[in-house]
A and B are shown apart, each in its own frame.
Chain A
Amino acid sequence: MSDESTVQRITNPKALKAPNAVLVTVASSLAAVLIALAIAGVLLAVTGYNPFEAYSKMLDAGLEKDKLLEALSRATPLMIAAVAVAIGFKMNLFNIGVEGQFLMGMFFAAIVGAYVDLPPVLHVTLLLVVAMTAGAAWAGIAAVLKVKKGVNEVIATIMLNAIALSVIDWLFQSKFRYEGESLDVKTKPLPESAWMPDMFDGRLTSFIFISLFVVLVFWLVVYKSKFGFRLRASGANAVAARTAGISSNRMIVTAMLMSGAVAGLAGLPYLLGESHAYGPSRPDGYGFNGIAVALLGRNHPAGIVVSAILWGFLDAVQGPLQIAKIPQSIVLVIKAIILLTVVIVNEVVGRRVAKRTADRTAAQLALPTAVAA
């Protein structure tokens, strides 16, 4: 082991540079998922259901082509939401406001999209920009509050979620209702030039390509660019970064705006692919689930994609589970236990690895002394 890497390990025991560290992270996340399934299995057994039957039902139903496509469709907005959360995490910022930001993006895209007339690709592109702008603007409020007034971003973004809901509802009810015969009142429908086509008989949204592109850009910007290095450096150690000449306030604002811009996209798979208008029967919960997916994926692009698909898979099998008379809440329980075990397993593994590295380093450092003595 070279001196350089020893030093690096001493100063930053959590550095995930070595390939075996990546392996450890993947293995510990996998272990967490298995442990969670085991615990949920016990819960199922205690409440009078056969866990083996439940899990085999999940696999049987979930591995059918239709359900796999559905899992990918459901993963599409989750990947985006998780990337939004992960951008914040990288700067040590907790953006709990993805929920409000995605609603803002979705709402304003629905409004602008319905009142402009453009050729298909341009129309969708414009709406992507509108949604990102709206999401970023909403997140920007929290960023400004933090930088100027020192308001904790967790509090600010949670509050902004509630405010977003009310502001959107007010705008919707007072200005943008489009009256039809249905009780499911919505905004004016988007013209077809703004629709994203479905694939495989409506089972998979083509928006998944945009989601994967967002993940790719996230990887390039955060892991491969100078800016990304600064971002991660500020997140890891704000004082050191400041000493190195990186303005942490500027990084906070930039990270928050980027996070919000990405979050703004999360509602678009549903808007452009299914409902083609904004209304109260829209989806919710992308914010919370995005945090979960980012945590499980350890904020890493590949981890986020895999975790989002796992989440989508779990959501997709809730229907067949119910038909088999197994309560669908087991899906939510499994998700929650996975989250907790991920944190516990990572903490335990992290400590073990740190201790082993420390021991080994100590042994190496002790060696010359012993020889000298």
Chain B
Amino acid sequence: MRKSKRFAALALVTAFGLVAASCGDDSSDSGSGGDGPKVGIAFDTGGRGDGTFNDSAARGADKAKSELGATVDELEATNAEDRKPNLETLTKNGDNPVIAVGFAFGDGLAEVAAANPDTSYAIVDGFIENAPANVTFLGFAEHEGSFLVGAAAALKSKTGHIGFIGGQEIDLIKKFEAGYTAGAKYINPDIIVESQYLGAAGDNAAWGSPDKAKVIANGWYADGADVIYTAAGGSGAGTIEAAVESDAWAIGVDSDQYLTATADQQKHILTSMLKRVDTSVFDTVKQFKEGTLKGGFATYDLKSDGVGYSTSGGYLDDVKDQLDKIKADIVAGTIVVPTAP
């Protein structure tokens, strides 16, 4: 009996483990469009409803639906192994173009794109060596946008002490940290910038651990930090909660997080670094429809308004001139933003 009880306990734990993994937000809203392109969107783990990165892509798809008459099919991966099959499923379903949201689709896309030369593909943040001509890389200058919010943080900090929380410790997120730190030091060379990552590279929990982000943020706020920038997908919600409790500032990422926050939280969201994944998705569909999608690199930087910062709440109105000047300097190349911390 003892053995079978242990057995049952283990089954319970495993079952909860499985279900916990499914506790994401499934809401997929695609519905009917018009006679435009049939667009396939392959989200990585997290998917629509994360409030930041994936939602930005989803907005682009929604806009393509309403303005270009596109129909949209969305697939979300729950594991690394879903990525390639999901691209295949969309392709087979007749979707064209197919847009992969996240660099991790690279390996799978390389194979699928080579096997389906008649379908156009795009990949956000991705790059494939020796890629076939039917793949477009949608790249972003996150470090430039982060430089601006770093400068904004330094301008608004009263204590000269700010922080950065990253998701997985990977090169992509280090670009955010590098830009943010450089921007803050550009304003105040003596500023203290704390930095911590929520998980090692490959630790997917890092994108969905608001509790961890909250603990870190509360600690820093208690130590005197008064602005914290979080680039960690859904985990960023924890920093916003901490900012409310500690009456301090949080900076959002990818999407304008002010727009999805509660009224209480809005008072504590200084700005958000905008990564216009929505623009890139919309542009891709539009170019496809017009027959001008040509593969290769499409770069979204400060110059093309592919990155930037949000002004919802008007908390940055008093420093707008300074930020505009910095933006102009980055665009002109007078300020060169580092991509690694």
**Are A165 and B203 interface neighbours, CB within 8 A?**
yes
- A181 within 8 Å of B by Cβ? yes
Q: Is the interface of A mostly helix, strand, loop or mixed?
A: helix
User: Which B residues from 90 to 121 make CB contacts under 8 A with A?
Assistant: 90, 92-93, 103-104, 106-108, 111, 115
**Sampled A-B contacts (27; CB under 8 Å):** A66-B88, A94-B10, A169-B202, A181-B127, A182-B129, A183-B170, A184-B107, A274-B84, A280-B104, A281-B104, A281-B106, A282-B202, A291-B14, A292-B18, A295-B7, A295-B14, A323-B75, A323-B90, A328-B26, A332-B22, A333-B19, A336-B15, A336-B19, A340-B11, A340-B12, A340-B15, A343-B12
Asked if A204 is at the interface of the complex by the 8 Å CB criterion, the answer is no
A232 within 8 A of B: no
Contact A166 B200 (CB under 8 A): yes
Neighbour of A94 across the interface among B6, B103, B172, CB < 8 A: B6
Contact flags A316-332 to B (C-beta < 8 A → 1, else 0): 10111011010111001
Interface string of B244-268 (1 = CB under 8 A from A): 0000000000000000000000000
Chain A residues closer than 8 Å to B170, beta-carbon distance: 183, 185, 280
Cβ of B15 and Cβ of A183 under 8 Å apart?
no
Residues of chain A with a CB closer than 8 A to B14's CB: 288, 291-292, 295, 336, 339
Q: Which residues of B contact A94 (CB under 8 A)?
A: 6, 10
What is the size category of the interface that chain A forms with chain B? 35 or more
> Which one of A166, A184, A343 lies within 8 Å of B106 (CB-CB)?
A184
Minimum CB–CB distance from A62 to chain B (whole Å) comes to: 12
Q: Is the CB of A172 within 8 A of B201?
A: yes
Do A283 and B126 touch across chains, with their CB atoms under 8 A apart?
A: no
A155 to B81, CA, bound (A): 28
Instruction: Take A315-B82, A336-B16 as given contacts and tell me if A180 and B129 are in contact as well, using a CB distance cutoff of 8 Å.
Output: yes
Given contact pairs A184-B104, A325-B30, A329-B23, enumerate 4 new A-B contacts (beta carbons under 8 Å).
A169-B203, A183-B171, A184-B127, A282-B202
CB-defined interface of A266-288 with B at 8 Å, one 1/0 digit per residue? Answer: 00001000110001111111001
Q: Which residues on B sit within 8 Å (CB–CB) of A343?
A: 7-8, 11-12
User: Please, what's the 1-or-0 string for A288-310, where 1 marks a CB less than 8 Å from any CB in chain B?
Assistant: 11011001000000000000000
Q: A316-B85, A339-B14, A340-B12 are in contact. Are A283 and B80 (CB under 8 A)?
A: yes
Min CB distance A189 to B, Å, is 10
A285 to B22, CA, bound (A): 13
Residue in chain B with minimal CB distance to A338 = B15
Interface string of A136-149 (1 = CB under 8 A from B): 00000000000000
Chain A residues within an 8 Å CB radius of B128: 182
User: B75: which A residues are within 8 A, CB to CB?
Assistant: 319, 322-323
Are the C-beta atoms of B79 and A285 separated by less than 8 Å? yes
Query: Given A165-B202, A180-B129, does the pair A336, B76 have CB atoms closer than 8 Å?
Result: no
CB proximity of B219 to chain A, nearest CB, Å: 21
Query: Residue of A at shortest CB range from B139?
Result: A183
Chain B residues in 8 Å Cβ range of A230: none
A105-143 CB contacts (< 8 Å) to partner B: none
Using Cβ atoms and an 8 Å threshold, which residues of chain A touch B125?
Answer: 183
Q: B24, B75, B104, B201: which has the most chain A beta carbons within 10 Å?
A: B201
The tally of residues in B whose CB lies under 8 Å from a CB in A reads 60
Q: Which of B12, B76, B79 contacts A322 (CB 8 A)?
A: B76
Instruction: Please tell me if B311 contacts chain A, counting CB pairs below 8 Å.
Output: no
A280-B202 contact, Cβ under 8 Å, with A319-B85, A340-B11, A347-B4:
yes
Given A183-B170, A292-B18, A322-B76: A280 in contact with B92 (beta carbons within 8 A): no
Q: Which residues of B contact A337 (CB under 8 A)?
A: 15
Query: Is B287 located at the chain interface by the 8 A CB criterion?
Result: no
In the complex, A296 Cα to B127 Cα: how many Å? 40
For the complex of A and B, list the 6 residue pairs with the smallest distance between their C-beta atoms, beginning with the closest: A169-B200, A281-B104, A280-B202, A332-B22, A280-B201, A319-B89
Query: How far is A347 from B8 in the complex, measured between Cα atoms in Å?
Result: 9
Known contacts A292-B14, A340-B12, A284 near B78 by CB under 8 Å: no
Could you mark each residue 199-219 of chain B with 1 if its beta carbon is under 8 Å from any beta carbon of chain A, else 0?
011111000000000000000
Q: Which of B18, B84, B204 has the most CB of A within 10 A?
A: B18
Contact assessment for A318 and B127 in the assembled complex, using a CB-CB cutoff below 8 Å: no
Tell me which residues across on chain B come within 8 A of A173, comparing CB atoms: 169, 201
Partner of B78, one of A92, A184, A328: A328
Q: In this assembly, does A188 line the interface, its C-beta being within 8 Å of a C-beta of chain B? A: no
Those of A154-191 within 8 Å (CB) of chain B: 165-166, 168-169, 172-173, 180-185
A239 to B77, CA, bound (A): 48
User: Are B81 and A74 interface neighbours, CB within 8 A?
Assistant: yes
Distance in angstroms between the alpha carbons of A328 and B27 in the assembled complex: 10
Q: Once the chains bind, are A183 and B73 in contact (CB under 8 Å)?
A: no
The answer to the question of A342 belonging to the interface, with a C-beta cut-off of 8 Å to chain B, is: yes
- Bound-state CA distance A289–B78 (Å) is 13
Q: Interface digits, A176-213 against B, CB 8 Å rule (1 contact, 0 not)?
A: 00001111110000000000000001100000000000
Q: Does B279 contact A (CB under 8 A)?
A: no
- Highest count of chain B CB atoms <10 Å: which of A284, A288, A322: A322
Return the CB mask of B51-94 against A: 1 if under 8 Å, else 0: 00000000000000000000001111011111011101110110
Distance, CA A279 to CA B204, complexed state (A): 13
Partner among A165, A202, A322 whose Cβ is within 8 Å of the Cβ of B200 = A165
Q: A285-B79, A323-B75, A335-B18 are in contact. Are A70 and B85 (CB under 8 A)?
A: yes
B residues less than 8 Å from A315 (CB atoms): 79, 81-82
A98 to B24, CA, bound (A): 25
The reply to whether A332 and B202 form a contact with Cβ atoms under 8 Å apart is no
Is there contact, CB below 8 Å, between B201 and A332?
no
CB < 8 Å neighbour of B169 from A74, A169, A320: A169
A288–B17 touching, CB < 8 Å: yes
Cα separation A47 to B168 with both chains bound (whole Å): 34
A51 at the interface (CB under 8 A from B): no
Is there contact, CB below 8 Å, between B171 and A185?
yes
Q: CB of B325 within 8 A of chain A? A: no
Residue of A nearest to B17 (CB): A288
User: When chains A and B are docked, how far (Å) is the Cα of A275 from the Cα of B81?
Assistant: 11
Q: Mark B21-48, 1 if CB is under 8 A from A, else 0.
A: 1111010101000000000000000000
User: In whole angstroms, what is the CA distance A11 to B85 when docked?
Assistant: 50
